[in-house]
């Protein structure tokens, strides 16, 4: 097995714990005995955003851009029975592993489509989703074509009014990608915020930032309270703070040249 092939490792500290790695990079952590368990901090942030926007146990129609070990579809099915998850995953080997070693076949309401998520989203009907989770990575990078204004317009198209787009990102100083992606979301959604450790928002450390976008306002104060009570405390920037944080950044486009007009 080459290092680039995806593989599943056991967690010696947790009997049901499984880590999916791709090219040596951790992609998903799943507890086969506890589908509601979210190990990675960023998955907890995604869950916090979902839970602040949608009523407890409300079933959701979700689209997942990037499937990995299917942690979030599993969490959604466990915490919101009756939910459906359409997963768009590029790598057929990941999908095969998820079935063979991570019990994908037992996740209720799950559909997995193998292929590039940009094409997968383009094939979805208008207003079919309450929630789109953006979590596609090549190594530690969001693929460029899944970050542009054109792709985000497709996400907006498949979301129903009041729907939520939550996007996981990883970046490092000087945060050009994160700032540009926030500017990109700002061109398409009325309300855009970001959740990350306070040190990252202070531009003092690298890591994950979870972007939260909707055409309906989000309870940013409630979200901040929710993320602060986790073991690894995070901070939230609401729309005004986010606009200041990415001031001057250019939205990303397929042509990567045009500024399409944002408040950033």
User: Toward ligand SAM, which CB reaches closer, 28 or 44?
Assistant: 28
Of 88-96, 151-159, 231-239, 250-258, the segment contacting ligand SAM by CB under 6 A is 88-96
* Residue 91 in contact with ligand SAM, rule: CB under 6 A: yes
Helix (H, G, I), strand (E, B) or coil at 19: strand
Nearest to 152 by CA among 196, 195, 193, 121: 121
CB of 94 to ligand SAM, least distance (A): 4
CB of 190 to ligand SAM, least distance (A): 25
Burial 92-114 (b: 16+ CB within 10 A, else e): eebbebbeebbbbeebebbebbb
The residue assigned the tokens 């979590």 is: 135
Give Cα 100 distance to the centre of its chain.
24
Of 21-29, 175-183, 204-212, 223-231, the segment contacting ligand SAM by CB under 6 A is 21-29
Asked if 219 contacts 110 with a C-beta cutoff of 8 angstroms, the reply is no
- The residue from 21, 59, 113, 138 that contacts ligand SAM (CB under 6 A) is 138
* Residue 207 in contact with ligand SAM, rule: CB under 6 A: no
Give Cα 33 distance to the centre of its chain.
23
Burial class (CB in 10 A: 0-12, 13-18, 19+), 226: buried
Of 55-63, 64-72, 153-161, 213-221, the segment contacting ligand SAM by CB under 6 A is 64-72
- The residue from 17, 67, 239, 251 that contacts ligand SAM (CB under 6 A) is 67
Nearest to 237 by CA among 204, 213, 261: 213
User: What x-and-dash track marks residues 24-43 binding ligand SAM by CB under 6 A?
Assistant: ---xx---------------
- The residue from 17, 35, 68, 163 that contacts ligand SAM (CB under 6 A) is 68
- Longest Cα–Cα distance in the chain: 50
* Residue 236 in contact with ligand SAM, rule: CB under 6 A: no
User: Toward ligand SAM, which CB reaches closer, 28 or 180?
Assistant: 28
Question: Which residues are near ligand SAM by CB under 6 A?
Answer: 22, 27-28, 64, 66-72, 88-91, 94, 116-117, 135-138, 143, 146
């Amino acid at each position: 097995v080459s290092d680039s092939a995806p593989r599943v490792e056991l967690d010696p500290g947790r009997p049901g714990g499984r880590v999916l790695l791709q090219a040596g990079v951790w992609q998903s952590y799943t507890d086969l005995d506890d589908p509601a368990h979210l190990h990675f901090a960023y998955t907890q942030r995604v869950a916090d955003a979902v839970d602040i926007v949608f009523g407890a146990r409300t079933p959701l129609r979700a689209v997942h851009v990037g499937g990995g070990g299917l942690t979030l579809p599993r969490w959604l099915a466990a915490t919101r029975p009756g939910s459906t998850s359409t997963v768009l995953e590029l790598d057929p080997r990941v999908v095969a592993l998820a079935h063979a070693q991570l019990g994908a076949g037992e996740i209720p309401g799950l559909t997995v489509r193998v292929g590039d998520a940009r094409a997968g989203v383009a094939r979805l009907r208008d207003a079919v989703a309450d929630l789109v989770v953006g979590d596609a990575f090549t190594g530690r990078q969001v693929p460029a074509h899944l970050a542009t204004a054109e792709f985000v317009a497709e996400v907006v198209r498949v979301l129903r009014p009041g729907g939520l787009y939550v996007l996981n990102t990883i970046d490092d100083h000087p945060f050009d990608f994160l700032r540009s992606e926030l500017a990109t979301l700002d061109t398409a959604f009325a309300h855009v915020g970001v959740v990350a450790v306070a040190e990252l928002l202070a531009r003092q450390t690298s890591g994950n930032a979870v972007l939260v976008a909707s055409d309906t306002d989000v309870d940013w104060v409630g979200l901040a309270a929710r993320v602060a009570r986790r073991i690894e405390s995070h901070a939230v920037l609401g729309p005004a703070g986010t606009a200041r944080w990415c001031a001057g950044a250019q939205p990303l486009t397929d042509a990567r040249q045009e500024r399409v007009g944002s408040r950033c």
